[in-house]
Amino acid sequence: MLNVLIVDDELLMRIGLKSLINWEEEGFRIMGEAANGKEALELAEAAAPDLIVTDIKMPVMDGLELIREVQRDRPDCQYVILSCLDEFHYAQEAIRLGAADYLIKSDMKSSQLLRVLDVVKKRAAKTTRKEMDGMPPGSVKESIEYLKETLFKEVISGYKGERDIAASRESLRIRVQDGPMLLAKFRIDRFEYLRRKYVEQDEKLLRYAVLNILEEIIPRQRQKEIIVMNSAEYVLLMEWLDDGPPREFEKLVDKIQEAMNDFLNLTMSIGASKADGYKGIRKAFQEADEALDDLFFSSGNGLVYYDRPRKKERCIQRFVWKGAALRSFRQDAELGSETALAFLEELKEQLREGGYTKQAARSAYIRVLGLISSCFPVLPDSDEDGLNVYEKLLREERLEGLHRTVVDYLNSCRSLLTDKELPRSYAEQACEMMRQLYTEDISLQFVAEKINVNASYLSRIFKRETGVNFVGYLTRLRMEKAKAMLRENRLKVYEVAERVGYPNTAYFSKLFKKHCGMTPEEFRGSAGESKK
């Protein structure tokens, strides 16, 4: 049975294609569908389809780019293109990329689809024979490992089950028996950072290195299978020897973490659960995923078991702030008081113990970052990887990482303030710049950049020193300049509006009346009367 993934941004097209023939009678199983190439790529990475039937023109990622991406990890996957008549040159490009055939959407019949699927089946059979017949022992072993990995991925995804494993156990040399087993999901921490290191090289090098370390450290005499889900995630299946988790597994995790750090400069998060034989693999995988969620709040060696007593259910979606506490923190941060660090430490513990979700914790630290940014005139640049502090927060996978990022940011802001000799008041500089440039389209952000200061900080300090906000000050300045021009009685109203920075005369007149109690024409008239 060949697994099929259908990709088209039109729902009716996907429904029609699925209904056109009895796929299973023809030896095909529809494993999923997607509305664009990006969704399809995620499904393909998780479930390894044998055939992708895809539209060419789609939002987010088109069919040609999808083919190129999937080919990197699944060179044996086949493709059938869905094309409109005016897209034929795209279909030709897809054929050059290795697509088996194409179908014209407006003229699709069951007989045409069956003909194309027959081509796909013959190519699949030919590929299998070529892979398995007359190959060197090493190549045969690689093929078996690949087929075995694909089988377990499909079991985890729910497309296959225990019978498929049992039926393939001998031919694929599956090492774990159908009995109680430990399932552990290993996930590389901060993977996006690490990925940049391998962008020039093949990510396969990383996968090979991680797989090799796991194989070497886990004792050879233990029945085990290791499945590479993708470059960041790996699943271990290992026999369960006693009533609890394998006694040596925590020691193995320590050794694995040490080796990963020494050889690859990375750490891993591990969620583990117990699988009740082959039939329990998918459920255990889902439980290991849940355990990884719990790990966000943990500060241990990176391992969490699903079957340990669960902590308080984490369902609180939002951290409620006390206004007085925030004001106090901002003052402490500005003054460089150690109380600010104590506030952050207390926040971390509240989030850890209070039943908050990961999203609530992340949002709380983002709020704190905003407060810190408004306290300092000069802020740190992006890090050596080109990431600003908000991007770093979004990529952190542990509460400890969020906390460390914010503390480091606060300390960096303080250091910049200490190292920089501050000029005269930023509010004074802003006022002077407005007096010079009031005729132009200027904003708080524009002025802040010109005087090299953080816009949030300038906004707060400006209001504190002048008693009015930035926009209020600029508007008042422009109105005074406008009144002076109107008194001279030489310029038309639209000319006055343009000269004080308002290209829209109607908006200027409305604003003038709001601030002066009369229209520009009325003001000019009253000014003329007073001269007499």
Q: Where are the domains of the chain?
A: 2-132, 139-305, 323-419, 426-531
Which has the closest alpha carbon to 482: 514, 517, 439?
439
| Phi, psi for residue 349 in degrees, rounded to 5 | -70, -35
- Token pair belonging to 450: 């010109």
Q: How far apart are CA 53 and CA 99, in angstroms?
A: 10
pLDDT < 70 positions in the chain:
85-97, 127-142, 197-202, 241-247, 299-301, 307-326, 330-337, 377-387, 416-424, 527-532
Second-level CATH architecture of 2-132: 3-Layer(aba) Sandwich (3.40)
Q: What is the CA radius of gyration of the chain?
A: 32
Give burial (CB, 10 Å; 0-12/13-18/19+) of 382: exposed
Residue 158's pLDDT is 85
pLDDT tens per residue across span 113-146: 898 898 888 887 776 655 555 444 445 556 788 8
- Token pair belonging to 36: 């664009």
Give how far the C-alpha of residue 218 lies from the chain's centroid of Cα atoms, to the nearest Å: 32
Q: How far apart are CA 195 and CA 204, in angstroms?
A: 11
Instruction: Quote helix, strand, coil % in the chain, to nearest 5.
Output: 60, 10, 30
CATH number of 426-531: 1.10.10.60
Q: Which residue has the tokens 């750090």?
A: 261
Q: What is the dihedral of CA 424, 427, 429, 430, to 10 degrees?
A: 170
Q: How far apart are CA 298 and CA 131, in angstroms?
A: 46
Contact present, 40 and 52 (Cβ < 8 Å): yes
Residue 128's pLDDT is 60
Residue 234's pLDDT is 95
N-to-C CA span, the chain: 100
| Phi, psi for residue 446 in degrees, rounded to 5 | -60, -50
Fold match between domain 139-305 and domain 426-531: no
- Token pair belonging to 210: 């991680």
Residue 122's pLDDT is 82
Q: How far apart are CA 178 and CA 144, in angstroms?
A: 19
Q: What is the dihedral of CA 492, 493, 494, 498, to 10 degrees?
A: 100
CATH topology of domain 139-305: Alpha-Beta Plaits (3.30.70)
Bridge partners for 228 per DSSP: 234
